[in-house]
Structure 1
Amino acid sequence: MKEQIDVKELKEGRYVILDDEPCVVKSISKSKPGKHGSAKARVEAVGIFDNQKRSLIGSVSSKIFAPIVERKSAQVLSITDDIAQLMDMDDYTTFELEIPADLKDKVKEGEEISYITSMGKMKIDIR
């Protein structure tokens, strides 16, 4: 799911879709309008799920899509190697997610963790 917004509404930390991938905006710079053109914006973003850097250069008045990102909580049922079986705390569905290397020591069986979901993809995200 996504919504349409203006490029001029973007701020650091907001979400945006670049190359059909949900990303978080890391920096944005805007130039002044020139004699024969409109103001331009340069957006630097990092993919939520693949951590790839992406950039966008376009008119400030143009439209762009922003993904709807949901943060949910789940209980860890079991851990096998680097895969965690989780149960959503709202609707009690069970699913499996890969545990990122930097979070292996923080994910323990029986504990509650948070995860993010957007555009059909999910990722463990502990803050």
Structure 2
Amino acid sequence: WGRAQFFTQSMNRELNRRQDLEIRLRQALQLEQFGLHYQPQLDLTTGELVSCEALIRWEVPGEGMISPDDFLPVAERSDLINTIGEWVIKEACRQRRKWKDQGFDLRVDINISGRQFFIMTCFPLSGVF
């Protein structure tokens, strides 16, 4: 408090970039442009596959992949992180069930945001697991 700061052109560009990305994230959810990639996790002593980590990826047709480092902070600052996080959890559980039905019982690790964790502890998802 007690200080003034002028709104600069670079601040305006960054605000516009974040707003544009948030609009595109909303569209990406509707257009189902997100996908999960599964990174294997190995036991270093045995080399055995023990789990995999579900990693969200966003591919925009004609543009390619958009880095999670670019879109997750924008999603975090909006309510989109909750919707995206719920989609990740449901999709990873769906894939795990599919693998299990095929006889491959593998743990799937999921990273969730602090906001998503709070929501889940207050309002648990039902029927997912």
TM-score range, shorter chain: under 0.3
* Structure showing the higher strand proportion among its residues: 1
* Structure showing the higher helix proportion among its residues: 2
Using the size of structure 1 for normalisation, the TM-score is 0.21
Using the size of structure 2 for normalisation, the TM-score is 0.21
